[in-house]
Structure 1
Amino acid sequence: MAKSKRPYLLPVTLTCDAAEIENGVSMELVDKYIGKHSDMLRRYDYLENLYRGFHDVYKEPEKESWKPDNRLAVNFPRYITDTFIGYAYGIPIKVGHPDDNVAESISDFEHDNEISDHDAELVKKCCIYGHTFEYAYQEDGTTRTRLTSFTPKELFVVYDDTVKSRALFAVRYGRHGVDSANSGKLYGEILTPERIEHFDAGAKTNEFPNPYGLIPVVEWRLNDERMGLFEPVAGLIEAYNHTIGEKANDVEAFAEAYLAVVGAELDEKGVYRIHDNRLINVYGTDNAKDVMIQFLQKPTADGTQENLLNRLEKLIYQIAMVANISDESFGSATSGTALAYKLQAMSNMALAFDRKIEKSIRKRYKLFCSLSTNAADPDSYRDIEITFSRNIPKNQKEEADTAQQLSGIVSHETQLKVLSVVEDPAAEIDRMKAEESSTQDSVLNRTMFTPKEDENG
């Protein structure tokens, strides 16, 4: 088996001495950091290819033409990523605010930006690359704030080298296509708190004032190490691909078993008769019992291969800390508690990611509230309320039994919080009171206005 190896180092944060940009961010400095960033692209490409299913097993040297050479790639990275996202953020993240005016402004902003889909894409890119970037800008001719996202292949942020790790500037860049007069040359923009500068072919072209007073870029991180969700198991996945490919080669090799004829000589015509007509007729010997015709049995490592594949698959899910929900054992989790234990590792990882996302969302609304056209108070972002919900199967009968058992022990509102069908316990209590009042009024009306029957019939 080929040796499994981690091909690329983890990314490092790009840092800069703040004194280097006292007079602005020069193109020489930008070129310097684009060069550093380019060194990271191989890793990002590798992780992206893993998610898309284009694994390194397809790049291994070809075997001799007479040997089976099956290349199989099992797309664990996509399964791990999509399963985790569906569980942790399948229910959209909710953002609210106690001030009705700000809440309405936030609602309009989220509607404009289709925020549920936008957040889902940011989360997916974080899982693939370990981090990603959200970019804010003002829509032309309007006061509307718009959002888009860029992968870390397209944009990077340079931080200062102090303990504050303050963002100094960001660079978004690309290269002109082959059809352009500047084919292969860089273009993009430099983002600082004061201005946004465009550059092309190694020179600055124009600049605009930055309306936010802050770098309009928010970094989303899966973790502080900026490690992708399936990156810790990349080596295990490559080993699994190699093993299952070799197993397919063994199956193909067994299908081409050799026929051995011992004690008799076959001429060329006899060989073709056996191959084409599936007929064996050996003659020309006085002692037929000395003739032996059989297929050569090749040694098999089927048991060893299956054990290795099972071990690798188990380790992949265990180390990635994402549940294999297609596993038959999940069918035995009939209670909420049993299911919670099976999802515990994934839940812990989701909670850790929640904290990173919350910081990023607060930075998003700090940018949003920095404009008076969005919020009257620039500090309004401090009071936003962020709610995360896990997307797990609900056992409503079990919830109802639990809620009933809590009667007389906790408040009605706490009772109702146990029920997943109740989104707003306080509002539900108000509705229950209204229904109860309506029922009492109805009973009272029937009692007062129903005519009494004549005693004499």
Structure 2
Amino acid sequence: MCIYNANLSDEELLKMKSNKIFSVDSDESNSARIEWLNKDSNDTENENYKDRLENMIKKFSFVADLETIATSHVSAESIKNGSYGIEGIVSDKESQFKQSLFRRLQLICNIYNLFGNDFTTDGIKIQFFRNIPKNLSVIADNVSKLASTVSRKSLLQQIPFITDINAELKQIEEEQKQNYHNENIQDN
């Protein structure tokens, strides 16, 4: 707080402070005033500070600038490379989370087993999936290049939108039988 052009003694200041009321008289030559001390800053300075702070947070937390990635037309590989720094942190957290979930499941099984059940966590597999876009053209190119050396099942496992490999293999087999049957009918 700033007090201008007021001749106040220490006793008067203490009295004002204890009463929580500030009052100053001004004479004709000087105008007395009391005001808060404020730092005058412009909007540009504040925006620069916020931008610098945001960049530092991203830098030290190993997070890529997702706004720039979202607005630009970059490939899935570029996004993957841009998020490489956070990938290690995510895998550590994923490992800890997996252990915690597994421990919780063991405790739940133990509680059920106290009531005469026979539950185990042996058949449980915890799996996490990252929500990072895949470059399907690169995957398709790799699958077609490996078609002569790798089994069909292994190739289908590389394609992200195929969830049931065995059902897909059956579907391919049925389509091949249907195509063979149609070709034989047309030849006759």
* TM superposition score category, shorter chain reference: 0.5 to 0.7
Distance (Å, rounded) in 1 between the aligned partners of 2:168 and 2:67: 36
1:368 and 2:108 are equivalent in the alignment:
yes
- Give structure 1 stretches of 5+ with no counterpart: 1-63, 69-245, 252-301, 451-457
Instruction: Tell me if 1:397 matches 2:137.
Output: yes
Classify 1:373/1:415 alpha carbon distance in 2 versus 1 (closer, same or farther; 3 Å): farther
Kept in 1, the 8 Å contact 2:62–2:86? The answer is yes
After superposition, what is the alpha-carbon deviation per residue over 1:284-314, rounded to whole angstroms, capped at 9, x for unaligned?
Answer: xxxxxxxxxxxxxxxxxx57973x5444322
Q: 1:417 to 1:317 in 2, by over 3 A?
A: same
More helix as a share of residues: 2
Letter in 1 for 2:145: Q
Alignment check: 8 A CA contact 1:333 1:339 kept: yes
2:68 to 311, 327, 330: 327
Question: One-letter code of the match for 1:314?
Answer: N
Alignment of 1:238-249 (within 5 A): 249=41
The 2-side partners of 1:387 and 1:432 are apart by 27
TM-superposition CA deviations, 1:47-71 (whole Å, max 9, x none): xxxxxxxxxxxxxxxxx55747xxx
Partner of 1:408: 148
- Give the fraction of aligned pairs with identical amino acids, expressed as a percent: 20
Give the Å deviation of 1:317: 0.8
Higher-Rg structure is 2
SS class of match (1:389): coil
Contact 2:62 2:85 in 1 (8 A): yes
1:268-287 paired onto structure 2 within 5 Å: none
- Partners of 1:426 and 1:363 in 2: CA distance: 32
Q: Does 2:42 correspond to 1:250?
A: yes
For the aligned residues, what is the CA RMSD?
A: 3.3
Question: Would you say 1:427 and 2:167 are equivalent positions?
Answer: yes
1:164-183 paired onto structure 2 within 5 Å: none
Q: How far apart, in 1, do the equivalents of 2:158 and 2:165 lie? A: 9
What is the alpha-carbon distance in structure 1 between the residues aligned to residue 56 and residue 90 of structure 2?
A: 20
- Higher RCO (CA 8 Å, separation ≥ 6 residues): 1
Helix, strand or coil: the match of 2:130?
coil
Q: Deviations over 1:237-282 (max 9, x none)?
A: xxxxxxxxx7xx424xxxxxxxxxxxxxxxxxxxxxxxxxxxxxxx
CA 435–376 in structure 1, closer or farther in 2 if over 3 Å, else same: farther
TM-score normalised by structure 2 residue count? 0.65
Q: Which residue of 2 aligns with 1:313?
A: 54
The CA distance in 1 between the partners of 2:156 and 2:132, in whole Å, is 18
Normalization by structure 1: what TM-score?
0.29
Could you list the runs of 5+ residues in structure 2 that have no partner in the other structure? 1-34
